[in-house]
Every structure is written in structure tokens, then in C-alpha cells.
Amino acid sequence: MNEIKFYGRGGQGVVMASQMLGSAFFKAGMYPQCYSMFGGERRGAPVLSYLRVDKEKILLKCEIKRPDELIYFDPSQINLEEVQRLMPHGGRILVNTNQSKGTFKGLLRFTLGLIDAQGIVDRLGIGPMINTTVLGAYCRLAGSLAIDHVVDAIREMVPEKIEANVEAARQGYSGLTLIPMET
């Protein structure tokens, strides 16, 4: 079973990202389980979303405490102590950022992916929702899901600017900076 935890802020498309990724895994023949937690529904408020994926039906119905992968839509939410305590050695972390590898030295014991999702959606004129770009980058980071499954989920679930969001996912895939874990 693969457990993924998403961190972001209201308005970035975090909840929709976890749902689209779950749909993409389902299209790939996997069993997804997705749920989210957030407080007041306002832009900028912290949002957490969770996704479990397995080849078998998932019977577990509880919070993800020790995720295999972390996805940060907002790098200010990274708590290095928490990450090091909860993540298994060699886990994967995806961060939306325009900063360099040096900014994330404390995360180098994990496989790290950096993507400037905000820059991509700004160039494409999509708006503040960076979810499709992040999902494209996730496909390349994880290596376990074809980008075509994510594209299919985007086409089914995104309500507007569909082709721009497909392009954002493709640019996220190709624009990922992949930093292998240090041994």
C-alpha cells in the first residue's frame, strides 16, 4: 500500500488534486481511498488531503500517520522535524517551489522533486490552481503512474480550461527537478 499526504492552502486545488490522483490510479487498475481535512473554508487556510492506493481493496479507514510520500503545494508548510520523524528513509517528497535544492538540505535523505507549479500556471494563464501541474510532476517523481492516466482524470474532472490544465500537467512532468536521495 502507498500512502500519500498532501499539504496546501485553500484555493490551490489540494482536495481536487488528491481526488484526481485517486481517479488516475483507479484508471490504472488500482484501488484508491481519498479523504481531506480542513477548517474554515477560506482562501489561504491550511488544507490536508490523504490518498491511499493499493493493488488490493483497502479496508483500513483511519488517518495516514506515516506517509510514504508527501506533496507540498506550499513550501512554508514543511516542518523538517515532523518530516524526519514520520517519513520512511527513502520516501518521496514533492515541493512546489521556485527555490533551489540548497533550500531543502534537510530533506536530502529522501527522494526530492521540485517543481515551479505556480510559474507554469502563471505562464499558461490558468489562475491560482496549481493542482494539475503538481500531478504531472508527481507522475514523474513516483514513476508508478502513467501521465496519460492523470490526463484522463483531468479531462473528466476539471470544469474549465481543460486543455490548459492538460498542458500544465505535461509541463509539470517535464519540468520536475528530480534530486535522488543522498546515501
Question: In this predicted structure, what is the pLDDT of residue 179?
Answer: 93
pLDDT digits (tens, 9 = 90+) for 115-144: 999 999 999 999 889 999 999 999 999 999
Question: In this predicted structure, what is the pLDDT of residue 133?
Answer: 98
SS3 string, 140-178, reads HHHCCCCHHHHHHHHHHHCCCCHHHHHHHHHHHHHHCEE
Range of the domain at 64: 2-179
Q: Average the pLDDT over 103-110 and give the result.
A: 90
Task: With CA atoms as reference, report the closest residue to 150 among 19, 35, 62, 2.
Answer: 19
Question: In this predicted structure, what is the pLDDT of residue 113?
Answer: 97
Coil, strand, or helix at residue 104?
A: helix
Give the rounded percent of residues in the chain with a pLDDT score beyond 90: 78
pLDDT digits (tens, 9 = 90+) for 29-57: 999 999 887 666 667 788 899 999 999 99
Phi, psi of 23 (to 5 degrees): -60, -40
Please enumerate in sequence order all residues whose Cβ is within 8 A of that of 128, keeping only pairs 6 or more positions apart, or say none.
11, 12, 121
CATH code for position 28: 3.40.920.10
Tell me the helix, strand and coil percentages in the chain, rounded to 5: 40, 25, 35
Number of independent structural domains in the chain: 1
